[in-house]
Structure 1
Amino acid sequence: MHILQYLLLSAVVCGHLEQYNYRVKRLIVDNFDSRSSDVRTTKVLIIGSGIAGLEAARLLQQNGVETIVLEARNRTGGRVWSIRSKNNLMLDMGARYIHGQYGSIPSGLLTNPIWDLTRSANISICFGEPHDFLGTYPLYYSNILVQKWYDEYMLFVREETRISSSNISFADYVNLFAQKKHFNEKQRSTLYNFAYFTIADREGTELESISAKGYLDRSSVFYGEEPVICDTGFMAITDYLAKNLTNIRFGEIVTKIDYNKNLVKVSTKNGQIYQAEFVLITVPLGVLKSKQIEFNPQLPQWKLDAIDRIGFGYYEKIYLLWDQVWWNTADYYFFQSASKSINLRYWITANKWNGKPFITCLFAGKAVSSLTWKQNKNETVKDILDTLQKMFPNIKITPPTEIYMSNWNEDPFSYGSYSYISVNQKYEDPFRLSETINNRLLFAGEATNTDTYGYTHGALLSARREVTRLLNIGLMGNGYQIPNTMIEHLVTIGLFIVFYMALYQLWSNSISMPSNEDYINMLTNEIEEENCDQFVSGFWLSRYYQYDRFYRPHQFSLSFDSQTRQVNGNGVDDIGKFVVNGIYSINTNRLAIVKTYREETENSTENFGHNITIQVAWNSNQYHFEGKWFIKTRNYSGDGRIELKFEKSFRAMA
């Protein structure tokens, strides 16, 4: 009887709520439509027409979804921009290479999706870019010796980051390695410059800014050659994506985004207002960092923190063109140092595309700040020519006939080139950057990916991810209508009650956990032979599985008491400092511990002084403990796999 009364009361309430929701929605629409004659409406509004924005618009249009694309520039492509020189040479000022035609192991892709597009669009590509020479100046040590140092350095970094829980930079590891090898300053600086050109130059920043652990953990390598698009430039890709799009608005600089749970209003600099059910934001991370787009209400703090922590680098190009080749094409140069006059490190590469000679100079990092770059263009070109003259002392080098320079770091629609993993970045930051707000604001772009950040194929994949999300949100939003009759209310409410009770039961079962006492006394059909050798006091490594991947191990101590069968210890990880208490059984070879964090240590946003229960059993084949972890805080509940492996005893440290 009580249930029936509740259902009847709920039906009446739902009827009132339906009318109330209608009035609220009408009020919201009226507020957003303060200039209703000027407001342009659409189902999905996409901000930005780079690779992510164009691919999203293309897929949505194919699915019959009404879409408008807003672009601040007078062209599509974003950070993909190809220009044609006076001698008809196509120069890519932004993206140039298809970074691997084949897939990668972390991504699970068989081929690079950008490569797939070139095949679908029948775009002409060239395999390999034959350098006549490449390098920087001057040279202090032999290439073979420096390469040997670098190989040893990377092995050192990989070993150190295997157990490291802090984001130490590559520059810090250069200093640590140099100390270990007893390098003098010239040797250390040579290794630093080589590592800079090998790692930091690709990331568009300094070695001091890149998390070594994050870089090695998350970088995804696509295999195969790295072709370029010869005759038409990389913009052939974005032109192909845009060719059938019918609703791109150029010159629309977004200044403000108002949003709530029902609608989104976007205002542009020229006074135009757009209203949409969903808005997909694909602007570069540099634009989000600049805060030139006002959000009302302000984005959640966790989103702002992710935007702030993810790195965004500078990468600029200068093309110098001559009418004919003046360099010795039989020589191959490779140097490892930097300019002394203007404090800019750069690569120099010489090429002949279609018989047309040009030299490309590539600059990256903080040295390419807006002030330095803007005020020293002529001095930079002079420095390049002086360097070339030193490289070719027997040749009189004439000034180039044409000069083309990129300037992404000063571009108000990018404020940089592409993202990198900073020393302050957390693993989950790209996930947080890609998270929706109210299921109304969505985010795409290369910076929203963990493995393919910084690449054009990362931007493409992010667009496909968000279109999938949009179609799912849209189907859910359109598929459910509020019922009008009392019987429909009763049936719907009853179904919802049954559905959520079932969900709750599934959730409860999914994280069910035996007590530690029950767990260590559980007998299985595969009991290991009784042996206490695995319960060794000392330093242990643990790694846990979450978000579809294993996290790198961190070190902590465990002390086993053979009399009481109790264990305790302590350690520190990315969350904070913690203590360990638990019990174990040599009869079942099982261990159950509780890891308790000390509040207000390390990561204040994730450390709540909470507990993590770990229950593991010995695996003699792998020679480690394995089992599950369980956690429940005010923000998160879950479980997953975990492995514990002995590293070294306390006596070994004495």
Structure 2
Amino acid sequence: MNNAKIIIIGAGLSGLMMAYLLQKKGFEVIILEAESRIGGRIETLTGSNGATMEMGATCFSKPHQNLIALLEGFKIPYFKQHTQGISFFETMSFVPPQKFEISDSEESSFRIVGGTAKLIEKLVEKIGIQNIKTDTKVTTIKEVDNYLEVTDYKGIKYTAEKVISTLPPHLLVQTIKFEPNLPDYIQQLAKKTHTWMGESIKFAVEYASPFWRENNYSGALYSQASIIQEMYDHSTADNSGFALKGFLNGGTYTMSKDERQEKVILQLIKLFGNEAENYIEYHEKIWREEPLTFFPYEQLVMGHENNGHTDYKTPFLNNKLYISGSETASQNPGYMEGAIVAAKNIVSQF
């Protein structure tokens, strides 16, 4: 039996932030993470040409003050997203895309130097890797007297006075058994709560040089007609690695990777010319194929539906279980800022 004062389920940004803040208050904390990888929906790939490409959380803006304060406190630098040059807006496949330029007066987006994973690495350093157990998928949470017993898929049991879940609520109620059961109203709410990133397909294409910039293109695209729905320049802060990155049409998950890749490159050639064909590597991440992140909905759930719902603010199982994570945040739910806000909200109750 493994004993701890507080167990946090999930080693994404929210869970790590929670552990960091609770440790600062003097609590003994252990994080149980189902994946072999730490970071949750933050995943940075480093390409062969040095480009750092985000398959999960990426950008933030000035209103995300909790995230900015954390980065500045950790001395993690960030930089303005490149937007200079001509951008594209595509309404129909048989109509040439509209061209426009993004004004400097518009609110800037920012990215973390070296990739979003730098924030995860710093939090792990602060918390201590010895306090994070990976490859530990929780299957049961049982109330036993004045504590909770948590069992993982290997049958290993952990006990704690308090348990905090940072899993997407829908994933939580669909994959973990509770004894006694959670109230029916919270189960139904969780099943109707949108999982951020769940339906997303993110892609990145590495290049040896930023040929689009050299031709006065920003690398930005917004499309209602093609496989790429949204795209941005994703070159590094020091301009040592170059890539285009964005979101694909979610319905294309039924295609093979090769089919998606072919369509992406053809769309880039159509936009930027034959130089787009000379890429180094294509990367993608289909989040709906990550069973430890996303569980298919039983009914239609809209984007951000029930994110930040007030019913998530109340603890369960006689005030021993807390449902938290980015989807439950009162501000900016579903984003990195929301993950930090959710963590702060929970820690304030301890």
* TM-score with structure 2 setting the length: 0.84
Match of 2:82, as an amino acid?
E
* TM-score with structure 1 setting the length: 0.47
Conservation of the 8 A alpha-carbon contact between 2:201 and 2:286 = yes
2-structure distance, mates of 1:53, 1:352: 29
Q: Deviations over 1:208-242 (max 9, x none)?
A: xxxxxxxxxxxxxxx95321112x21111122222
1-structure distance, mates of 2:342, 2:233: 34
Match of 1:101, as an amino acid?
K
Conservation of the 8 A alpha-carbon contact between 2:43 and 2:56 = yes
1-structure distance, mates of 2:285, 2:97: 33
Conservation of the 8 A alpha-carbon contact between 1:135 and 1:347 = no
Cα root mean square deviation, aligned: 3.0
Q: Deviations over 1:512-547 (max 9, x none)?
A: xxxxxxxxxxxxxxxxxxxxxxxxxxxxxxxxxxxx
Kindly report which structure 2 residues correspond to 1:581-592, keeping only aligned pairs within 5 A, or say none.
none
Determine the structure 2 residue equivalent to 1:414.
Answer: 293
1-structure distance, mates of 2:184, 2:252: 30
Match of 1:322 among 175, 196, 207: 207
Kindly report which structure 2 residues correspond to 1:99-248, keeping only aligned pairs within 5 A, or say none.
100-102=61-63, 112-130=65-83, 134-135=87-88, 137=90, 138=93, 140=95, 143=98, 225-230=108-113, 232-246=114-128, 247-248=131-132
| Post-superposition offset of 1:423 | 8.6
Conservation of the 8 A alpha-carbon contact between 1:445 and 1:459 = yes
Change (3 A) 1:288 1:134: farther
Match of 2:162 among 278, 282, 285: 278
Change (3 A) 1:274 1:378: same
Conservation of the 8 A alpha-carbon contact between 1:134 and 1:347 = no
* More helix by percentage: 1
| Post-superposition offset of 1:382 | 0.6
Gapped regions of structure 2 (runs ≥ 5): 101-105
Conservation of the 8 A alpha-carbon contact between 2:228 and 2:249 = yes
Secondary structure in 2 matching 1:311: coil
1-structure distance, mates of 2:167, 2:47: 28
Secondary structure in 2 matching 1:388: helix
Secondary structure in 1 matching 2:208: coil
1-structure distance, mates of 2:30, 2:324: 16
Secondary structure in 2 matching 1:227: strand
1-structure distance, mates of 2:140, 2:70: 34
Change (3 A) 1:399 1:56: same
Match of 1:74 among 17, 22, 36: 36
2:339 paired with 1:459 = yes
Higher RCO (CA-CA < 8 Å; seq separation 6+): 2
Conservation of the 8 A alpha-carbon contact between 1:47 and 1:53 = yes
Determine the structure 1 residue equivalent to 2:103.
Answer: none
Secondary structure in 2 matching 1:242: helix
2-structure distance, mates of 1:56, 1:316: 28
| Post-superposition offset of 1:391 | 2.5
Conservation of the 8 A alpha-carbon contact between 1:264 and 1:275 = yes
Q: Deviations over 1:166-213 (max 9, x none)?
A: xxxxxxxxxxxxxxxxxxxxxxxxxxxxxxxxxxxxxxxxxxxxxxxx
| Post-superposition offset of 1:267 | 0.5
| Post-superposition offset of 1:276 | 0.8
Gapped regions of structure 1 (runs ≥ 5): 1-38, 104-111, 146-222, 472-654
Determine the structure 2 residue equivalent to 1:259.
Answer: 143
| Post-superposition offset of 1:336 | 4.2
2-structure distance, mates of 1:314, 1:378: 19
Secondary structure in 2 matching 1:228: strand
Aligned residues: 331
From the CA coordinates, give the structure whose radius of gyration is larger: 1
| Post-superposition offset of 1:75 | 3.0
Match of 1:241, as an amino acid?
L
Conservation of the 8 A alpha-carbon contact between 2:89 and 2:221 = yes
Change (3 A) 1:435 1:273: same
| Post-superposition offset of 1:257 | 0.9
| Post-superposition offset of 1:76 | 2.2
2-structure distance, mates of 1:316, 1:240: 27
Secondary structure in 1 matching 2:30: strand
Determine the structure 2 residue equivalent to 1:448.
Answer: 328
Match of 1:130, as an amino acid?
T
Conservation of the 8 A alpha-carbon contact between 1:284 and 1:413 = no
2-structure distance, mates of 1:325, 1:426: 40
Determine the structure 2 residue equivalent to 1:432.
Answer: 311
Tell me the percent identity.
24
Match of 2:126, as an amino acid?
N
Match of 2:70, as an amino acid?
L
Kindly report which structure 2 residues correspond to 1:475-514, keeping only aligned pairs within 5 A, or say none.
none
Match of 1:263, as an amino acid?
Y
